[in-house]
Structure formats: structure tokens, C-alpha cells
């Protein structure tokens, strides 16, 4: 953001309601880091959001508020679209906060992209309250989407149905306790490397995780299964299966692709004109992959590919994103519905 825009922003008189939202935004600034499997990840989730100074926070209010003034709209036109997304709240969070501010009991909100792009709101209300609230909630969500320029979504307002955890019977609890203890005791006696034994009497399965190398897991898997089955038999239980796994958890710092792809996905997939159906990346080499719904034979496919490419390059080269990339090379691949490169 250049200095002239910052000066204009700092001179704006903000309504009290928006001022309160600025303060709320400072306290709620956070990041959501997604694990990356096999250096490739398709991401439609939240983004890294870092706020620094009131002038930058205003950027989020341009499209993050349902009450945008004409002056703010004029200033927002000077800031690239994807950068506005980067500085704004995730749309699901904004919807949730606005509905709660209006007094609605919301179980959850979500944004889905398959089989079609849908914003979902689940209200934690009784039938009569729900039927009364639904039209107004739809109106509020529609207004928020319109304020952001998001026209690709349908809206679904449903009743929130919390999942009830299964409560095992006393007999099942006893079975779980006995088998967990006996199998664990025997494996320890035989000095096997494992980190978890869990019995599920409803599935008649004992899960045992070998928290060691793949070679070690392969060398002991059959023996561990045999030992566990012997303990099942010794305690007079029947019909159990043994599931020996080798799951290890590796905590990784979020890579550059995962920090950038969230706002990129939200921005490109939320507007019909972009015809984007998927946004992803792979880390080595850093490549951003954009899937569209346009056929390569469409005369306008190349024009669309070029437009999207220019938008993404502008975003990646901006002051907000370039410190993340640190001058590392990257590639952008934009594909048609029939999987042809169009940029």
C-alpha cells in the first residue's frame, strides 16, 4: 500500500461500530497452518492473516464489513483484489461474528466447493425459532457476500444437529479395559516399541500403533498381531481383529505455498467471472496450480488464463507477499477443464 493511500485512510472518520471491529480484529489476528502431505496440497481453508497498524486493518474493513462507506469503496479500488482478501477475515468467520452480533445462535459456518460452491450456516435453534430466523439469516449472509463481491456461492441455512458421542455399555467398558491392559502389559514384557493400544468392542478390533521406523514396523507387525490375538484368547474373548499401524506425527512449519494459497483460493473461487474450480500448490519446485471450468477450445480461454496469471503475479510480487516468497522462483499453471495449460 503506498503512502498516499495510507494518508487517505488515516484521515477517514470511522463510525463507532467499525472502530469496535478494528479493535476486535487486532485481538483476533491469527494464523492457520495446514500440514502438507507429499509436498502437494489442495487448500481451500483459512489464510495467514497478519495485521500491522490501523491503516492496514482498514483494508479488511473494505470488504470485511457489511457496512462499507462510499469513501472506503473508492479507496478500496486502488488496492488489488487479492491483497484485499489477504487482509480480510475469512468469510466464514465474518458471517459467524455478524450473526452472533445480531443475536443468532450459530452452531457453525462453512464454505464448501464441491459438488458446488456453497456457504453453509447451521443454526442451533428449535424448529419454530429456526423457521422464523432462516429468511433473515439468508439475507445477512447474502449481504456480506455481496459486500465482498462474492457471487459464486449458493447459501444454505440448516439446523445444527450436534453429533452425539457413542457411550459404551458397562460390559463394553470392562472389555476395553481388560484388553487394553493385558495387551499393553504383554507387549511391554516382550520389549516391543509401540505407543498406543486401543480396543473398540463395537468393531471387535484392537488398534496397536508402532511408533518407530518403517523397517522396524515391517519386522514386528506379524508378531505383534499374534501376541495380541493370544491375549484376546487368554481372556476368553472371540471374534477380534488386530490392526497394527505405523503412524508417526511430524510437526512442520507451514511452507510458503500454504501461507499464500488460502487467500488465493478464496479470492479466485468466489467470483463467477474467474471460472476457477480449484486452487492448489506443490512445494518443490514452488508451483501454484489453478483449475478452471473453461474448455481450452473456448476462444476466450487464453484471455482468461492471461488475466488470472497477471492477477496472481501482481499478488505474489506485492509488499504483503514478497517477504514470504523471499525472491524464490515460482511457477503458475492455469489449466482448462480439459486439463490444457491456458496461461
Domain count, the chain: 2
Judge if 226 and 262 occupy the same domain. Answer: no
Q: Tell whether 220 and 176 lie within a shared domain.
A: yes
> Which position has the higher pLDDT, 150 or 161?
150
Q: How far apart are CA 99 and CA 88, in angstroms?
A: 17
| CATH number reported for the structural domain that contains residue 269 in this entry | 3.30.300
Per the domain annotation, does 305 fall within a domain? Answer: yes
Assigned domain for 192 exists: yes
The answer as to whether 329 is a domain residue is yes
146, part of any domain: no
Tens digits of per-residue pLDDT, 16-41? Answer: 444 444 344 334 433 333 444 444 44
Q: Answer whether residue 343 is part of any domain.
A: no
Q: Measure the CA–CA gap between 343 and 331, rounded to whole angstroms.
A: 11
Please enumerate in sequence order all residues whose Cβ is within 8 A of that of 334, keeping only pairs 6 or more positions apart, or say none. 290, 292, 305, 308, 309, 341, 342, 343
Q: Can you give the pTM of this predicted structure? A: 0.60
- Sign of the alpha-carbon torsion through 110, 21, 317, 309: positive
Residues 227-241: tens digit of each pLDDT:
999 999 999 999 999
Domain enclosing residue 272, as ranges: 256-335
Phi and psi at 138, nearest 5°, equal: -60, -40
- 188 found inside a domain: yes
Residue 248 confidence class, pLDDT cut points 50, 70, 90: confident
Distance (Å) of CA 115 to CA 40, 118, 134, 180, 289: 22, 9, 23, 42, 20
Q: Residue 227 domain-assigned?
A: yes
Is residue 12 predicted with pLDDT exceeding 60?
no
Nearest-angstrom CA–CA distance, 322 and 315: 9
pLDDT tens-digit series, residues 281-329? 988 899 999 999 999 999 999 999 999 999 999 999 999 999 999 888 9
| 271, 218: one domain | no
7's enclosing H/E stretch is helix 3-10
Q: Is the pLDDT of residue 69 over 90?
A: no
**Per-residue model confidence (pLDDT) at position 77:** 60
- Cα three-residue angle 52-49-87, rounded to 5 degrees: 70
Residue of 6 and 271 predicted with greater confidence: 271
Q: How far are the Cα atoms of 158, 167, 303 from residue 164, in angstroms, in the given order?
A: 18, 9, 51
pLDDT at 164: 78
Q: Which of 221, 245, 269 is the last residue of a domain?
A: 245
Q: How many CA atoms lie within 13 A of 287 on its CB side?
A: 11
Kindly state whether residue 72 falls inside one of the protein's structural domains: no
Q: How large is the angle between the packed helices 91-101 and 127-148, nearest 10 degrees?
A: 130
What is the rounded CA–CA span in Å between residue 107 and residue 18? Answer: 25
User: Using the 8-state DSSP alphabet, how is residue 37 labeled?
Assistant: B
Weakest mean pLDDT among 110-124, 128-142, 162-176, 299-313? 162-176
Q: Residue 56 has what pLDDT?
A: 38
Q: Answer whether 337's CB lies under 8 Å from 295's CB.
A: yes
On whether both 330 and 307 belong to a single domain, the answer is: yes
Amino acid at each position: 500500500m503506498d503512502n498516499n493511500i495510507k494518508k487517505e485512510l488515516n484521515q477517514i472518520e470511522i463510525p463507532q461500530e467499525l472502530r469496535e471491529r478494528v479493535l476486535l480484529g487486532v485481538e483476533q489476528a491469527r494464523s492457520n497452518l495446514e500440514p502438507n502431505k507429499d509436498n502437494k496440497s489442495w487448500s481451500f481453508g483459512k489464510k495467514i492473516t497478519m495485521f500491522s497498524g490501523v491503516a492496514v486493518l482498514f483494508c479488511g474493513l473494505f470488504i470485511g464489513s457489511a457496512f462499507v462507506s462510499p469513501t472506503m469503496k473508492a479507496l478500496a479500488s486502488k488496492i488489488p483484489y487479492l491483497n484485499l482478501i489477504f487482509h480480510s477475515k475469512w468469510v466464514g468467520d465474518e458471517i459467524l461474528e455478524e450473526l452472533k452480533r445480531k443475536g443468532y445462535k450459530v452452531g457453525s459456518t462453512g464454505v464448501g466447493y464441491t459438488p458446488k460452491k456453497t456457504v453453509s450456516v447451521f443454526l442451533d435453534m428449535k424448529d419454530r425459532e429456526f423457521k422464523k430466523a432462516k429468511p433473515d439469516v439468508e439475507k445477512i449472509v447474502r449481504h456480506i457476500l455481496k459486500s465482498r463481491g462474492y457471487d459464486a456461492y449458493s447459501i444454505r441455512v440448516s439446523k445444527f444437529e450436534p453429533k452425539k458421542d457413542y457411550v459404551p455399555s458397562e460390559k463394553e467398558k470392562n472389555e476395553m479395559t481388560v484388553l487394553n491392559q493385558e495387551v499393553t502389559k504383554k507387549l511391554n514384557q516382550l520389549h516391543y516399541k509401540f505407543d498406543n493400544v486401543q480396543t473398540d468392542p463395537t468393531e471387535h478390533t484392537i488398534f496397536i500403533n508402532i511408533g518407530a521406523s518403517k523397517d522396524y514396523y515391517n519386522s514386528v507387525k506379524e508378531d505383534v498381531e499374534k501376541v495380541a490375538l493370544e491375549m484376546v484368547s487368554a481372556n476368553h474373548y472371540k471374534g477380534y481383529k488386530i490392526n497394527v499401524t505405523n503412524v508417526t506425527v511430524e510437526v512442520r512449519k507451514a511452507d510458503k505455498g500454504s501461507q499464500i494459497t488460502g487467500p488465493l483460493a478464496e479470492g479466485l473461487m468466489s467470483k463467477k467471472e474467474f471460472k476457477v474450480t480449484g486452487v492448489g500448490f506443490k512445494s518443490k519446485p514452488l508451483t501454484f496450480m489453478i483449475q478452471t471450468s473453461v474448455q481450452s477450445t473456448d476462444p476466450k480461454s487464453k484471455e482468461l488464463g492471461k488475466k488470472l496469471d497477471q492477477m496472481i503475479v501482481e499478488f505474489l510480487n506485492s509488499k504483503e507477499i514478497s517477504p514470504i516468497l523471499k525472491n524464490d522462483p515460482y511457477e503458475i499453471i492455469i489449466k482448462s477443464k480439459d486439463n490444457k495449460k491456458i496461461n
